[in-house]
Amino acid sequence: MELLGLGISMICLFVGFGLLIGILFGFFGMGGSFLVTPALLVVGYPAPVAVGSGLAFVFGTSVIGALRHRDHGQVSYTLAAVMILGMTFGIEVGTRVVFLLADLGSADAVISVAYVGLLGVVGLSVLRDARTGGTDASTGRVASRVHAIMLPPMVALPGGATVSAWVILVVGSAIGILSGCLGVGGGFLLLPVMVYGFGIPTAIAAGTSILQISVSGAFGTFVYAQSNAVNIPVVAALLCGSALGARIGVSATQLVNEADIKGCFAVMLLSGGVATASKQVSIVYGVELLETVSTVLIFGTAVLVSGAIVRTSIAALRKIESVGHP
């Protein structure tokens, strides 16, 4: 039995995976696109469809968050407008690169290798952050160097600093190319760039980042949809699950210390990189066992980390209840 071209088992798989991604999104504040695209590659979707559907998922998850931050006044519209210009250009370039690689028959391999590197770098960074408690003495130095670049026009930022519009455009273009090539929203790069590179408050950086992701995700989805490279039923199933999961994740932030779970999250990112590599090796050498390993890794670690968040939240609730009812 099929619904909108998807079997019931696949719909349940994507809804369930969306639920897990939603929990992670609500808890860690990351959209999860960096797991959705490799998961679609592991399942067997072509690279352009995996990237386009990942961008569509990014757009769907970020809109609600952008509206929430707008209500709290946590958006710098000037910075967002300049950054969006750069990201739009970058996404167009990245999209053309993907379809060029697809025509050459190497898109799956190149994007898979890129994801292995990306997930490895981000995973190791999160792991280091978890072990050091997120402290970094050099944070202020980067922002000072960026502020020293005085190429007009200058853009006034929240907090009193000014940054050259050209710097913002270059950064936006680079992240846009990454987004267009890999189907990621770029939030895991935008947020640290704004906080550590531009020196704006974290809350405003988060709100501005999500607004940019909403606009760039919409543009990227439109570009890929023109080539029929967005699987709407898959995206819909993922969004249905993530809508519920995000509520669970947000609630968990009130009960669980993020540092207690961050190490598990890093392991999940690294596992995603290994899963993507295993899938590609299985295709090249025809080793079916590695294909099974890749599927178990990318879905299994998401289950384990999301389960750890839920389990720890339940334990915290029970502790609170026991204190309140001696």
Is residue 319 included in any domain, yes or no?
A: no
Separation between Cα atoms, residue 95 and residue 86, nearest integer Å: 14
Is residue 241 included in any domain, yes or no?
A: yes
Is residue 245 included in any domain, yes or no?
A: yes
The confidence score (pLDDT) of residue 30 equals: 62
- Most confident option among 63-77, 107-121, 227-241, 304-318: 227-241
Is residue 321 included in any domain, yes or no?
A: no
Length of the chain: 326
- Which one, of 32, 192, 56, lies nearest residue 119 by Cα? 32
pTM, two decimals, is 0.72
CA gyration radius, the chain: 20
**Percentage, residues of the chain above pLDDT 90:** 5
> Mean pLDDT in the chain?
80
The confidence score (pLDDT) of residue 314 equals: 87
The better pLDDT of the pair 228, 193 is held by 228
Is residue 35 included in any domain, yes or no?
A: yes
pLDDT band at 118 (very low <50, low <70, confident <90, very high): confident
The confidence score (pLDDT) of residue 64 equals: 67
Please write the tens of the pLDDT for every residue from 135-178: 554 456 777 888 888 888 888 887 777 889 999 999 989 988 88
- Residue 116 tokens, joined: 């292995």
Separation between Cα atoms, residue 35 and residue 115, nearest integer Å: 9
Domain span including residue 210: 2-131+139-314
Please write the tens of the pLDDT for every residue from 207-240: 787 788 788 788 888 989 988 889 999 999 998 9
The better pLDDT of the pair 3, 52 is held by 52
Separation between Cα atoms, residue 309 and residue 312, nearest integer Å: 5
Q: What is the 3-state secondary structure (H, E, C) of 284-321?
A: HHCCHHHHHHHHHHHHHHHHHHHHHHHHHHHHHHHHHH
The better pLDDT of the pair 272, 102 is held by 102
Is residue 253 included in any domain, yes or no?
A: yes
Please write the tens of the pLDDT for every residue from 6-55: 778 888 888 988 888 888 776 766 656 677 888 888 888 888 888 888 88
Q: 243: Cβ–Cβ under 8 A, 6 or more apart, which residues?
A: 22
Contact between 89 and 173 (Cβ < 8 Å): yes
Is residue 326 included in any domain, yes or no?
A: no
Is residue 94 included in any domain, yes or no?
A: yes
Q: How many domains does the chain have?
A: 1
Handedness of CA 126, 163, 175, 57 (dihedral sign): positive
The confidence score (pLDDT) of residue 137 equals: 46
